Amino acid sequence: MPNYVLNIRRFSPESGEPAHWEKFEVEMEGHRPVLDAILHARNTEDGSIGIRCSCQAAICGSCGVRINGNPALACNTLLRDAVATAKDGATIDIEPMGNMPVIKDLIVDMDAVHWKKVQRVVPWLIPAGEPPEREYVVPHEAMVDVTQTMACIHCGVCVSDCLSMEVDPEFVGPAAHAKAYRFVGDPRDAATETRLRDLAEDPHGLYDCTHCFKCVEVCPKGVSPMNQIMRLRRRATGDFKIKDANNGYRHEKAFVSIIEKWGTLHEAKLLPDSYGEGIFGKLNPEAQKQLIASAPTAVRGVLSGKVPPLKVIHHHKLPDQKKIKDIYKKIHGRDDRIELNLYIVGEDADALAAESAPAEAAATAADGGES
């Protein structure tokens, strides 16, 4: 059986010692999860290793940690996968999640950060008046849609490495925003506009997300918090024309029209255009302030290779402009906005294929259990 080396970040506030790393060797099959290895070390070597865990099935949300620097659940990360991302190719580093204070070893204070933010979004259904005698009649798709955010297990994995939260600890954050969508997307909730206005106008709300994608990438339940934030924004701007403190509404409009014109995102134009197109935008004092403030971000973008330096000053149009125009024509021609939701269409192309195969579609109807 393979031998795995766990390098666990230890911290005991009572000991007076600073946080340090401690190695444990565990013999275990590679398809077993990291949590099993930690528990093995705890059961056989040192019972004082602190980690929250319960279900061992990625459903209770207890065991969020950082594995080799990346936030994940310990119970659904397999040892063989963990070792593949080890910095030295052998030692699995396990540390507490970020953006939250450490209580002991791998246990962080989620109340102080995550749950406070969840509270912030008024996390309960606010229906209009008294409930009906029977159930609320709501579209099938709407329930499937909000179930994606209902699936959040509040593990804090997305919170751990949220870029915006690192910069602005007051940011409402990915999971709490996803929770907000759970109500905004729920046709039974009557406070949609208030909720959207509240989050759009909060400088730490909807428009405080930098689209770093981290939360989408790390969420173990497919909640895609950033996508929920984007959908909240679309509803805020599209359905309620809410103009916000961070100028997000304008930003989005500018974004759309730049793409329409250029076919790709002209980063250097985006900020000034958010304050009004062309020269007026650039002269707007608020825009100037923000332009200056955003300089480090732009520099960082260039350094990390996200934005090629040439692009900042010189922007090419995408060669096939007609295609872009066609897309826009098609979108503008639609009555309803269409939301893409992975939760509905499934994860692989096969699911789509199955959907279109008539024989199987008939079987779905017969087998669906709607009897």
Partner 1 sequence: MTVGIISKIHPVRSHSNAAQGGINAALNPDDSWESHAYDTVKGSDYLGDQDAIAVMCSEAPEEILHLEHLGVTFHRNEEGLLGTRAFGGASAARTYYVADITGQAILHVLYEQMLKYDDKIDRYEEWFTVALAIDENGRCNGAVMRNIRDGVIELFRAKTVILATGGSGQIYKPTTNALVCTADGQAMAYRAGAALMDMEMIQYHPTTLLGNGLLITEGARGEGAHLYNAAGERFMEKYAPNKLELASRDVVSRAEQTEINEGRGFPDGSVHLDVTVVPKKRIHEALREIVMVGRDFAGIDITKDPIPIRPGQHYIMGGIKTDVDGLTDIPGLYAAGEVACVSVHGGNRLGANSLLDTLIFGKRSGHHAAGVAKSMNMPKISAKQVDDVRDEINAIMARSASDGRRVSEIKAELGETMNDKVAVYRDEEGLNSALEVVKRLQEEAKTAYIDDRGTIFNQDVLGAIELGYMLDIAETIVMGAIERKESRGAQFRTDYPERNDEEWLKHIDIKLKDGTPTIEYSPVTITQWQPQERTY
In the complex, the residues that contact ligand SF4 under the rule CB under 6 A are: 152-158, 162-164, 174-175, 178, 209-215, 219, 221, 223, 225-226, 229
Tokens 């330096």 locate to 309
Q: Which is nearer to partner 1, 61 or 71 (CB)?
A: 61
Tokens 């599209």 found at: 238
Q: Does 56 bind partner 1 (CB under 8 A)?
A: yes
User: Which tokens hold the place of 25?
Assistant: 């060797």
Residue 155 beta carbon to ligand SF4: minimum distance, rounded to whole angstroms? 4
The half-sphere exposure of 72 on its side-chain side, counting CA atoms within 13 A, is: 20
Least CB distance to partner 1 at residue 125 (A): 3
Q: What is the dihedral of CA 263, 267, 270, 272, to 10 degrees?
A: -130
Residue 227 CA, distance from chain mean position = 7
Residues within window 177-236 making contact with partner 1, judged by CB under 8 A = 183, 186, 188-189, 221
Q: How many angstroms separate the CA atoms of 326 and 247, rounded?
A: 28
What would the DSSP string read from start to end of 196-253? Answer: HHHHHHSTTSGGG-----HHHHH-TT---HHHHHHHHHHIIIIIT----TT-HHHHHH
Residue from 5, 28, 151, 312 in contact with partner 1 (CB under 8 A): 151
Q: Which does 295 bind (CB under 5 to 8 A by kind): ligand SF4, partner 1, ligand FES, none?
A: none
CA distance 327 to 266: 18
Only segment of 275-283, 310-318, 327-335, 342-350 that touches partner 1 (CB under 8 A):
342-350
* Binding of ligand FES by 19 (CB under 6 A): no
Q: Which of residues 33-72 bind ligand FES (CB under 6 A)?
A: 53-56, 58-63
| Shortest distance, position 279 Cβ to ligand FES, whole Å | 54
**CA–CA separation, 156 and 213 (whole Å):** 15
Residue with Cβ nearer ligand SF4 (220 or 263): 220
- Could you say which residues in the range 107-126 bind partner 1, by CB under 8 A? 107, 110-111, 118-119, 123-125
- Nearest by Cα to 267 from 298, 223, 235, 227: 298
Number of residues lying near ligand FES (CB under 6 A): 12
Token representation of residue 301: 């973008």
From ligand FES, ligand SF4, partner 1, none, interface partner of 147 (C-beta below 5 to 8 A by class): partner 1
Nearer to ligand FES, 53 or 118 (CB): 53
Amino acid at 313: I
Which two three-digit tokens encode residue 277? 């197109």
Site pattern 17..46 for partner 1 (x: CB under 8 A): --------------xxx--------xxx-x
Contacting partner 1 (CB under 8 A), which of 3, 135, 241, 319?
A: 135
* Residue nearer to ligand SF4 on the CB measure, 7 or 274: 274
Given a contact cutoff of 8 angstroms between Cβ atoms, the answer to whether 284 and 276 are in contact is yes
Residue 100 region by backbone torsions, left for phi larger than 0, else alpha for psi between -120 and 50, else beta: beta
Residues that bind ligand FES (CB under 6 A): 53-56, 58-63, 73, 75
